[in-house]
A and B are shown apart, each in its own frame.
Chain A
Amino acid sequence: MMSELNYISIDYKKNYAIVRYETNGDCWTEELLLEIKVACQKIQADQKCLSVLFMSDSKNSGFGWSKNFHLMTEECQAILNSALIAVEELPIPSFFLIQGITNLPAMEIALACDVRFSLDDTIISLIDKESNFQPSDFTFRRLAKFSHRSFALDLLLFKKSLNALDGKKSGIISEIYNSKGYLSAIEVVLEQITNYGAIAIKTLKDSMQLGEQVDLNTGLNIEHERTLQLQETDDFKEGIDAFLQKRPPKFLGK
């Protein structure tokens, strides 16, 4: 099933969605960012959808901003922030496929997703050669969490580019796929998640999202509370029964 916006198509598969976006000559526009937000709302409204992949329909995730976009204006910043928040607040696991040349703002959207995969020809950076825009505060906060701080500072301060291998070494990227046959390999991951219990997936995401905003001890309490809530669900009982009976579980989302 396909859902079409002007610059985005949402391909609904078996309980997951693939969001393909269309840039303007590899540049991101205001309209595309607005549609990213709409796409997130549509996906969120679909209760069956348990994971989502964002990817470009061209060979690059995006060179930079369209010349018509004036990031320094408050209105444009608000549009970017609302798109980033919409992606970040999706209640299901979100994936981004980094393809080819990936600069601002594609990298910002990628960093707002939970998991980042890339193709082997990827070159990522946080620069916008045309307009010299800087990454948003949102992206600074995201990068500050990386264990290899030097990679984050290379991107931010020294405007360096990373290839796919360095991106993986830095922790920005989790997996690199060959340019041939990558989509079916990624769909295996997306589909795998759809076999799990919807309640558990959403609870897990919620627990980690909240946990990222608080200290560890508070996070441990959040996790414990969520665990107790899950123990009351039919899906929890089904998971345990299935394991003990050595059969695959059948989760009903109850």
Chain B
Amino acid sequence: MTQKNVQSISLIKKNSALLINFNRENKLNAIDLHMRDVIWEGLRLVQTDIQINALIFTSEVPGCFSSGADINDFGTAPSIQESKNARLERDIWGVLNNLDVPIFSFVDGIAYGAGFEIVLASDYIYATSQSRFALPEIKLGYIPAAGGSQLIIRRLPSSDAKRIVYTGEPISTDRLYELGLINRIIERKAFDTEIDILCKQLLNYDTKEIRTLKSKFVHLINTN
């Protein structure tokens, strides 16, 4: 296992999977510009290192997956045109939603805003029973900006999806499990073991084939 950057976010190679591990406890894993840089670095690594067979999001902080984007960074782009250019150069959410490896999220506690948007972009979601998920952007006069408004209407029945975005209120693990978004409800103490098992199991599959099939799958679901 190799580790890079031991601060608020880490990229960890485990067998052939890449873990993105949040660890900004004092800010409830709010995703700031530095964390976005590291996520982007991780996504680029998955794109360029063809040996990587999965991407796994998790958090070191008990009771917190991520509280969302760091609001201190909001509106810091000097102009709309520069925001557009920045997105053209580094479209984190576009790349994440078109990635050709399976994406897993292990969630314990709050997954709000961009935290929930990462979950919605994931293919497999494991969560503790006490986790809570929300898109609270509307409460602050804006809208989900990391794919949330588009992903949620595709991943959940429209009535629940729209209720979540319009009210900004959290939804429980149980409800998301009932609606089929969450795959398994597990305890936090089982995360490490489950990730170990998962990474070992993934070694039984041909990475090239996984990438070919996932690529075809996302192309079909994202362009229809």
Q: Which residues of A are interface residues toward B (Cβ below 8 A)?
A: 51, 93, 114-116, 142, 145-148, 169-175, 189, 192-193, 196-197, 199-201, 203-205, 207-208, 211-212, 215-217, 219-220, 222-224, 226-228, 230-233, 235-240, 242-244, 249, 251
Contacts and interface: CB of A to CB of B under 8 A. Distances in A.
A140 to B, nearest CB: 14
Contacts of A189: 167
Given A174-B163, A216-B221, A228-B84, A243 B140 contact: yes
Nearest to B178: A169
Contact of A197 (B71, B84, B141, B159): B141
A240 B72 CA distance: 8
B97 A220 contact: yes
Contacts of A145: 157-158
B166 A227 contact: no
B71 A204 contact: no
B160 A242 contact: no
Max chain A C-beta neighbours (<10 A), residue from B147, B153, B159: B159
Interface of B: 71-72, 74-75, 80, 83-84, 87, 93-94, 97-98, 137-145, 147-151, 153-160, 162-163, 165-169, 178-181, 221-224
Given A172-B157, A192-B167, A231-B80, A249 B141 contact: yes
A129 B107 CA distance: 47
Given A170-B157, A222-B150, A240-B74, A114 B142 contact: no
5 contacts: A114-B163, A172-B159, A223-B143, A236-B141, A249-B140
Contacts of B144: 223
B13 to A, nearest CB: 28
A154 B13 CA distance: 46
A116 B160 CA distance: 8
Nearest to A169: B178
Given A207-B149, A251-B141, 9 more contacts: A115-B163, A171-B156, A173-B159, A208-B150, A208-B162, A219-B150, A220-B97, A239-B142, A243-B140
A233 B145 CA distance: 15
B181 to A, nearest CB: 8
Nearest to A237: B75
Given A169-B178, A215-B223, A216-B154, A230 B143 contact: yes
Contact of A200 (B138, B157, B158, B167): B138
A213 B71 CA distance: 31
